[in-house]
Amino acid sequence: MPSFRAKQPAALWVVAILVYAFLYIPLIIVIVFSFNDSKLNAEWVGFTLHWYNALLHNHEMLLAARNSLIIAVSASFLATVLGTMAGLAIHRYKLKVLPVLAFTPVAMPEILLGVSLLLFFLQVLNLTLGMLSIIIAHTTFSIGFVAIIVRARLQGMDESIFEAARDLGATPWQTFRQITLPLIRPAIIAGALMSFTLSIDDFVITFFTKGIGEPILPIQIYTMIKVAVTPEVNAVSTLLMLLTLTLIIIATRFDNSMLGKS
Amino acid sequence: MALLEIRNVTKRFGNFTAVDNIRIAIEAGEFFTLLGPSGCGKTTLLRMIAGFDAPDSGQILLDGEDIAGLPPEQRPFHTVFQSYALFPHMTVAGNIGFPLKMAGKTPAEIKTRVTETLAEVELTPFADRYPHELSGGQKQRVAFARGLINQPRLLLLDEPLGALDEKLRENMQRELINLQASAGVTFIYVTHAQNEALALSHRIAVMNRGRIVQIDEPSRIYNFPVNRFVADFIGKINLLSARVIEVSASHLKLTVTGLGEVIVPVNGDVKAGDQGVFAVRPEQVRIVAQSPATATETQLLGKIKDFLYIGDVTTYIIELTNGTLIEALLPNSVPGHAKLFDIGDSVVISWQEQSAQFLPD
């Protein structure tokens, strides 16, 4: 162990703790109050699972959750396939402009993406807004994330591995199946999980592209908050948080292993 | 017929001609080395043989047939890469068995052959290890085994020993010679290390700036370099600019800068007035007590200016009375002595006429 580790100033720790507190205390409050036996988010009264039970009987909420899951699974699947292809192409052909175009939606303001997709669906595609339009929209903004992760993984690899496969008798397709795909698999899984979490809690773009049809989870939560922040909202938020956190942890595990292995 | 014939192959990258009209014929069973400084085109040539790059002009013929249209996987050649290029997600056995799997062999046959090969390269205990769990030398042996298991017509080796430390490299050189002899596979070996090329090869092609400068056996390349570049690139050598003043049937008379008139044997096609260098290897220069010269020796007076102790040998730098510097190399055969002369000692140097030569620029 290097000795400078012991000399880290206490001030650094204080700052770190404050930053983490700022990030996580609001989330912890939501979780705590989802178990609070009171209609108000004011003071702790007692422990209950009532609000979770209420959620199970809230038809509208269950429908919203189902819809959101369908959208997240479909969009993350499509984004993973297309994003992986984009990542491979960008790495392989050393293109200049295309990578920027593929990665731009990642940094683009969501409101802009939402408005432009809305116009595109209505005026160019003549599409009735609904599940399909949301899936397309979510796929659009997730592709860039998958492409970035896959490309980063490829950049860390020895190019001669792929040439070695060809040289030793593998066709381009066999090289992809036997060598490329297994090696970028962690990046693909991380990208898929990332897309899923982005999709399931997206509000802005969903809001613009959902039309008037089916209820969608984040929008549903927002609608409920219009009245008051009820413990039921806390409960559904807690569940959503749990799902996202689990997926993010799994995603970073894959991401870490990909950094450590190569 | 040669196994592989490279016929007038040229490859350009933009304005840069990486490989310039190269012709080589490689015979079956040869250990053939492409030797040259980095950027001389040796790796580009190897990549064209493997099928990763296509020549701009010229042909590559296997058994007399042009293989231009064949992608790498259809050429009966395998490559050992400088970085080893082992598949990180496959075990040693998986890596070695890969070419057989791609060739469509049955799992049973693959298993038998992999087991045999692992035993041959003494890697049996490592069969289930992954590449990152192996040492450099072990990775190297896996790469050789993987390249040879499906009995390619040619094994292409791209500086395969470059990443190893010196001791290990010497051992691997010996292993490589044995491996080539026992496998009976033709090797094309690319390196910039002249000592490696001399130690391993049957024939060497010395390359510079995309062209072949000389193709010959190692001892001839070392003893009879065709020009200044080869002489300078292979081993150490004293080079002094010179001009031919007289040509006879067996000898040349030169005027050498700093030495005056010197006689050397005829070497190639030269005529009076040609410019070039006078060349003599340090180990051919003798440091002698002041005694009368024999008829075939040239003698010059000088002082020891400096020396470099290398262990087995010591290199002495001798300053002649007119200021010219000449290097001489003496083996340290006297026990316990690091040097036989000291700085400032007056000496006479000499060499046999036969050991010096004139090289055109």
Query: What pLDDT band is residue A260 in, cutting at 50, 70 and 90?
Result: very low
Q: Do B83 and A169 touch (CB under 8 A)?
A: no
Q: What are the tens digits of pLDDT across the range A112-134?
A: 888 988 888 888 887 788 888 89
Query: What pLDDT band is residue A261 in, cutting at 50, 70 and 90?
Result: very low
Residue B67 burial (CB count, 10 A):
17
> C-alpha distances in angstroms, B335 versus A140, B46, B311, B343?
79, 47, 11, 20
Residue B98: closest C-alpha in chain A: A168
Query: H helices within B165-227, ranges in order?
Result: 166-183, 194-200, 218-223
Q: What are the tens digits of pLDDT across the range A180-198?
A: 999 999 899 989 988 998 8
- Facing residue for B81 by CB, picked from A160, A183, A262: A160
Q: What are the tens digits of pLDDT across the range A11-63?
A: 888 999 999 999 999 888 888 888 888 777 677 777 888 888 888 888 888 88
Give the Cα separation of B44 and A93 in Å (integer): 20
> Are the CB atoms for B317 and B342 separated by under 8 Å?
no
Decide if A37 is inside a domain: no
Partners of B87 on chain A (C-beta within 8 Å) are 161, 164-165, 179
- State the pTM of this model: 0.80
Q: What are the tens digits of pLDDT across the range B280-318?
A: 999 998 887 665 555 556 778 888 888 888 888 888 999
Element (H, E) at B151: none
Residue B48: closest C-alpha in chain A: A167
Higher pLDDT, B160 or B340: B160
Decide if A225 is inside a domain: yes
Q: Do A169 and B103 touch (CB under 8 A)?
A: yes
Residue type, A116: S
> Are the CB atoms for B79 and B160 separated by under 8 Å?
no
Decide if A2 is inside a domain: no
Give the Cα separation of B137 and A44 in Å (integer): 66
Token reading at B358: 């004139």
Of B283, B285, B313, B284, the C-alpha closest to B300 is: B285
pLDDT at B289: 62
Q: Is B81 on the interface with A (CB under 8 A)?
A: yes
Structural domain count of chain A = 1
Q: What are the tens digits of pLDDT across the range B29-46?
A: 999 999 999 889 999 999
Three-point CA angle A93, A95, A98, nearest 5°: 125
DSSP string, A180-230: IHHHHHHHHHHHHHHHHHHHHT--HHHHHH-TTSS--HHHHHHHHHTT---
Of A204, A251, A219, A169, the C-alpha closest to A67 is: A219
Decide if A35 is inside a domain: no
- Facing residue for A167 by CB, picked from B79, B86, B88: B79
Q: What are the tens digits of pLDDT across the range B191-204?
A: 999 989 999 999 99
> Are the CB atoms for B299 and B251 separated by under 8 Å?
no
pLDDT at B354: 86
pLDDT at A7: 61
pLDDT at A101: 79
Give the Cα separation of B110 and B102 in Å (integer): 11
Look at the block and give the residue holding tokens 């339009």: A133
pLDDT at A21: 92
Query: What pLDDT band is residue B107 in, cutting at 50, 70 and 90?
Result: very high
* Mean pLDDT value across residues B66-86: 92
Sign of the CA dihedral with B75 first, then B80, B86, and B91 last: positive
Residues 6+ away with beta carbon under 8 Å from B242: B254, B255, B256, B257, B262, B275, B276, B277, B278, B358
> C-alpha distances in angstroms, A191 versus A73, A157, A198, A202, B318?
13, 18, 10, 16, 68
pLDDT at A37: 80
Q: Do A161 and B85 touch (CB under 8 A)?
A: yes
Report the complex ipTM.
Answer: 0.82
Partners of B52 on chain A (C-beta within 8 Å) are 163, 166-167
Decide if A244 is inside a domain: yes
pLDDT at A255: 60
Query: H helices within B3-154, ranges in order?
Result: 42-50, 92-102, 107-120, 136-148
- Strands (DSSP E) contained in chain B are 4-13, 16-26, 31-35, 57-62, 65-66, 77-80, 154-158, 186-191, 203-208, 211-216, 238-247, 251-256, 260-265, 275-280, 286-288, 297-309, 313-320, 325-331, 346-352, 356-360
Given a cut of 50, whether residue A1 has pLDDT beyond it is no
Partners of A167 on chain B (C-beta within 8 Å) are 50-52, 72-73, 77-79
Residue type, B105: K
Residue B87 burial (CB count, 10 A):
21
> Are the CB atoms for B179 and B148 separated by under 8 Å?
yes
- Facing residue for B85 by CB, picked from A158, A170, A182: A158
Which letter does DSSP use for residue A46 in this model? Answer: -
**What domains appear along chain B, each with residue ranges and CATH number?**
4-228 (3.40.50.300), 236-360 (2.40.50.140)
**Mean per-residue pLDDT of chain B:** 89
Partners of A163 on chain B (C-beta within 8 Å) are 50, 52, 72, 79, 81, 85
* Mean pLDDT value across residues B197-212: 93
* Mean pLDDT value across residues B328-346: 80
Decide if A228 is inside a domain: yes
Give the Cα separation of B299 and B351 in Å (integer): 7
Token reading at A206: 């969903």
Q: Which domain holds residue A247?
A: 51-261
| Coil/strand/helix, residue B347 | strand
Q: Do A171 and B73 touch (CB under 8 A)?
A: yes
Of A178, A218, A182, A183, the C-alpha closest to A198 is: A218
Query: What pLDDT band is residue B348 in, cutting at 50, 70 and 90?
Result: confident
Domain CATH number, residue A68: 1.10.3720.10
pLDDT at A5: 56
